Structure 1
Amino acid sequence: MLQAMRTSKNDSNNSGQTFTRKGSLRRVLAPEHNKDNLFGRQNEDVNNFYKIVRQEYIILAEYKMVMSENIKSIYVIPSKENSFVWFGVIFVRSGLYEDGVFRFNVVLPDSFPDGEHPKVIFQSEVFHPVINASSSELNLLKGFPVWIKGEQHIWQVIKYISWVFYNVEASVAHAVNTEAANLYKENLEAFVDKVKESVKKSQEELYNPPPNNDKHYITFEKYDPEIHDPIKILRIDKLNGSHRNTIGHSWVSPGSFKPLSRPPSPNADTIS
């Protein structure tokens, strides 16, 4: 069984053969005192409103934690229409699934953060031992046997998604796709062929129109030099000039705390 410990921020997504996690050291909210009936029975509407606001705040805090983890090559964002559904996409950079671009949704239970763990449903067809062939749901039960509020967080689920693509052999032990698991153990060449089909299809579907009108749905456009080259040049110029501009605003000599202890940097335009 996978260790119930949290990975640190600096851990690599594809290092090691065991997915680990541990409880968060951060507090999302203040202690919950009488949260079920904070304003008394005569103010049921106010109580319900408070619960909704508080739940939305918790989800926002979860998203901020995901962002702070800076998980490489995987992107998620809550739906604009429904914060209980998060859109995600992972770019696999190495290993058997290299060059795959797989879409998924993270679906939170209505009682989140209470209740069961979130569900991860892949929108792309992925041939993988721990992804159900019929429902496209990722098996999270070995990574998160019990969802404990305050100890498990969505960012850990996101890291687990990445982990299963880089640690296929370790994930076979808790397979839900028996065909994929058996092929991996008995006929690796045939397994790789199936994986390549998934990777190829994910690339072909990358630029498909969105299946919904949600403004937060992650979309991609093919590179158009007329549109994207000017933006690329502008971005490069901005990055190249950022260091120079920063120096120009620092009028403190190294090792000194006295304002204006050094002359301003010369304007770049006046330098011959």
Structure 2
Amino acid sequence: MSKTPAKSPGARGSLKARSPIASEEEREQALRDYKVTIEYKHLKSHAPGGVYLIPSMNDLRHFFGIIFVRRGHFTNGIFKFQLRLPPRYNDANMWPEITFSSHVFNPYVDPKTGQLDIKSTYPSWDPTRHYLVTVLTFLKKIFYAKTVKDASANPEAKTLMETEPNEYQKRVDACVRESQKAVFVNETGSTTKVTDEQLAHRVLIDLLKQNVQDPAQVSKAAILSMIDHASKV
């Protein structure tokens, strides 16, 4: 009768040593996942106006987003983007990554990849102070910024903005028109699919959030007045 070879004490010891480490890693990852869900829930009431973010169907750390720009250089721009979180997001220096699907001519956006240069403003990422709302607020800010001293992603855009503002505005206007034409072109798998009706609803909701405390009490005349004012800004 053959005998099963006995495992050495060293082998048994190494198995026992690996098991607790693996389970501890799983617990830590589960905690990271939970923090992501809490941050996203927080966005429902704290996301910057005009910015919408929806999780993908298959990945907790992959989001599709869209921003409606209301004033400034990029007035009436509708820019789509994707946001991805690294597996160890919520650890120190684990930056979110935002990539624009729309073309954006901006000093903070790489013209080749569409990636937003988050590290220029946040050279270190502190999970006790920086959250999803932080990076979305920064995303919105780049469309309204009047000074771009720390920007380095698109040197051409930065130079034109600082030395040839008229030429810069022409380039910006071109990308705004492009964004408007592509607004109903939806990426495969995107959870931010836009239709004519959805677009109108989002614009109205955004206006209501910015101008009234109780949307249920606002009159039709007041809504029409807000739309007229927004179209002239």
Give me the TM-score of the superposition, normalised by structure 1: 0.62
1:144 counterpart residue number: 122
TM-superposed deviation, 1:87:
1.1
The aligned counterpart of 1:220 is 194
Question: What is the distance in 1 between the residues matched to 2:74 and 2:138?
Answer: 15
Q: Tell whether 2:139 aligns with 1:161.
A: yes
Give, in whole Å, the separation in 2 of the partners of 1:144 and 1:184: 22
Of 53, 58, 71, which residue of structure 2 is paired with 1:76? 53
1:101 to 78, 91, 114: 78
C-alpha distance in 1 between matches for 2:124 and 2:183? 34
Question: Closer, same or farther in 2 for the Cα pair 1:203/1:134, shift >3 Å?
Answer: same
Name the SS for the 2:122 alignment partner.
Answer: coil
Alpha-carbon offset, residue 131 of structure 1: 0.6
Any conservation in 1 of the 2:120–2:152 contact (CA below 8 Å)?
no
Cα pair 1:92 1:165 within 8 Å, conserved: yes
2:151 is matched with which residue: 158, 161, 174?
174
Instruction: Give the conservation status (yes or no) of the 8 Å contact 2:121–2:150.
Output: no
Q: Who is 1:86 aligned against?
A: 63
1:103-160 deviations in Å (ceiling 9; x for gaps): 1111111211114211111110000011111111111123211011212111111001
Aligned position for 2:9: none
CA positional deviation for 1:171: 2.1
Amino acid in the other structure paired with 2:32: Q
Please give the alpha-carbon distance, in whole angstroms, between the structure 2 residues aligned to 1:191 and 1:139: 19
CA distance in 1, matches of 2:197, 2:135: 31
SS in 2 for 1:88: strand
Cα displacement (A) at 1:46: 4.1
TM score, norm. by length of structure 2:
0.72
C-alpha distance in 1 between matches for 2:65 and 2:149: 23
The 8 Å contact of residues 62 and 85 in structure 2, kept in 1 or not, is answered as yes
- Hey, what does 1:184 align to over in structure 2? 161
Which of 153, 168, 183 in structure 2 is aligned with 1:206? 183
Structure whose residues are more often helix by fraction: 2
**Aligned equivalents of 2:54, 2:30: Cα separation in 1:** 19
In the alignment, the residues of structure 1 paired with residue 17 and residue 188 of structure 2 have an alpha-carbon distance, to the nearest angstrom, of 41
Tell whether the 8 Å contact from 1:130 to 1:172 is kept in structure 2 after alignment: no
Tell me if the contact between 1:96 and 1:192 (Cα under 8 Å) persists in the aligned partners.
yes
Aligned equivalents of 1:89 and 1:96: distance in 2? 18
Structure 1 CA distance for aligned equivalents of residues 42 and 197 of structure 2: 32
Structure 1, unpaired ranges of 5+? 1-38, 229-237, 241-272
- More moved, 49-58 vs 198-207: 49-58
Measured after TM superposition, the shift of residue 80 of structure 1 is: 1.9
Residues paired across the two proteins, number: 186
The correspondence for 1:58, drawn from 30, 35, 43, is 35
Asked if the contact 1:129–1:172 (Cα under 8 Å) also holds between the matched residues in 2, the reply is no
% same residue: 24
CA distance in 1, matches of 2:152, 2:114: 13
Name the CA shift for 1:64/1:172 in 2 (closer, same or farther; >3 Å): same
The one-letter amino acid of 2:77's match is: G
Q: Secondary structure at the match of 1:86?
A: strand
* Partner SS state of residue 196, structure 2: coil
